[in-house]
Amino acid sequence: MSLLRKLFRISSPKSFRKPCRRLLKQTVIAGFQYYRGEQLWDFLRQDLPLQLRREPRNRFDCHAVAVYWNGNKLGFIPRSENLAIASLLDHGQQLEARIARQYRGSSSRRQVDVCVELLM
């Protein structure tokens, strides 16, 4: 083992590799208009990192996964698409989320798509 590895307790060069990412889901953020999304619209940009938080005690959906940016709730992963993401989060799997795109929907409502990736 090299001196640098001994000094810094680095076991192998693998620790320097970037994690591999696998796309799990790209979907719209549900409820965007009901939370802080509209107020934060001008600050949101494509590829901006987002946080996913489980809400197992959500009274409407026990598999709820909320989407946050800088501590502000933007909405949820849609109920029809959240089961796998909720399960992975419940089992401690590391997921990353980011803004895939911003657009105006069919009713001129502002909408944001989120991209969720599995880190391997």
Question: Model confidence over 59-100: pLDDT tens digits?
Answer: 999 999 999 999 999 999 999 999 999 999 999 999 999 999
pTM: 0.82
Range of the domain at 28: 18-119
Instruction: Give the residues across from 72 on adjacent strands.
Output: 69
Judge whether 99 and 113 are in contact, CB under 8 Å. Answer: yes
| Inside any domain, residue 1 | no
| Inside any domain, residue 8 | no
| Inside any domain, residue 2 | no
| Inside any domain, residue 31 | yes
| Inside any domain, residue 35 | yes
How many domains are there within the chain? Answer: 1
Residue 37 has pLDDT above 60, yes or no: yes
Structure tokens at 108: 């001129």
- Within its chain, how far is the Cα of 65 from the centroid? 9
Domain with 94 in it: what CATH number? 3.30.70.2330
Q: Strand locations in the chain, DSSP E?
A: 21-28, 49-55, 64-69, 72-76, 95-104, 110-119
